[in-house]
Amino acid sequence: MKPFKLGGFEVYFLEDARFRLDGGAMFGVVPKPLWSRVAEADAQNRIPLTIRPMLVRAGERWVLIETGMDDKQGEKHRKIYGIEGAGRLLEQLRALGLSPGDVDLVINTHLHFDHAGLNTVSRDGRIVPLFTNARYLVQKQELYDATHVHERNRASYLPENVEPVAEAGLFEEVEGEVEVLPGLTLVPLPGHTLGQQGVVLRSDGRTLVYTADLMPTLAHAPLAYIMAYDLYPVTTLEVRKAYYPAWAEEGAYLATPHDPGAPLGRLVRDERGYRAEPLSP
Ligand SMILES: [Zn+2]
């Protein structure tokens, strides 16, 4: 696997599980005749998605953004979401000569099971953190919400992905925008959840944004293409309006977590509004 170079950073676009979610829920108020032009639904109206963790070599450090999905939840969970290939992240790290112990920083954009599944693994009947030498960076608000669930978010926050990491003292809670390494900044992107964060890499005048679920796939770039899963959809809209002009103007690379086709895209604006074009890294 060859890295994508962004100035001094080496970026690896990994791909963990493929899965399926309801197409209507994925596109919110957008009617099916519109969204079905960009995503093909199966007999259960589900569209194909993937989870794409991003690995960054920053100087001597290895930074992993998102941990993908795990198999801890078993067959029923796998069936509901059509999950295939959970845990492929580990093979991809191995192919790069890395073991989980080599990862220095894990960045959890938020703690939903499709993003934070391999925060932990099952070993000898116990659930334990996987990245034992890493600090797991998460927004304080997100960790609070993941540990104080309600009926509307309970299906997404699974305690087994969160509690063992907290008990081991591996979470490092951050608040607001924080440059954690030179050129690597955590940026709050609320809307999908209140405590969601994205990651911005800047080097040699180039910018790459890991969008988290502010833009789950490139097809979600248009301002109103907001998931019904978002807890605060109007906040999603406001955050998009705050960042899109700069991202389009500087030609920022956008890495989305769930695009089934391309790991990278770029925002373009025309007379009909914003859309994203796929790029091959
Ligand atoms: Zn997601």
Distance 214 CA to ligand 1 centre (A): 9
Distance CA 225, CA 207 (A): 24
Longest dimension (CA), the chain: 58
R_g (Cα) of the chain, nearest Å: 18
The CATH code of the domain that includes 207 is: 3.60.15.10
pLDDT at 71: 85
pLDDT at 281: 76
14 neighbors 89 (Cβ within 8 angstroms): yes
E strand or H helix at 121, and its extent? strand 120-123
DSSP three-state, residue 184: strand
Please identify every residue whose CB atom is under 5 Å from ligand 1, which is an ion: 114, 213
Distance CA 134, CA 197 (A): 18
What is the tally of structural domains in the chain? 1
- Mean pLDDT for each consecutive 10-residue tract of the chain (281 residues)? 95 96 97 95 96 97 96 89 93 97 98 97 96 98 97 95 98 98 98 98 98 98 97 98 97 97 96 94 76
Query: Which residue segment(s) compose the domain that 35 sits in?
Result: 4-279
E strand or H helix at 80, and its extent? helix 74-80
Neighbours of 119 (CB within 10 A): 30
Neighbours of 278 (CB within 10 A): 15
pLDDT at 1: 85
Residue 53: what residue type? P
Distance 177 CA to ligand 1 centre (A): 21
Distance 50 CA to ligand 1 centre (A): 9
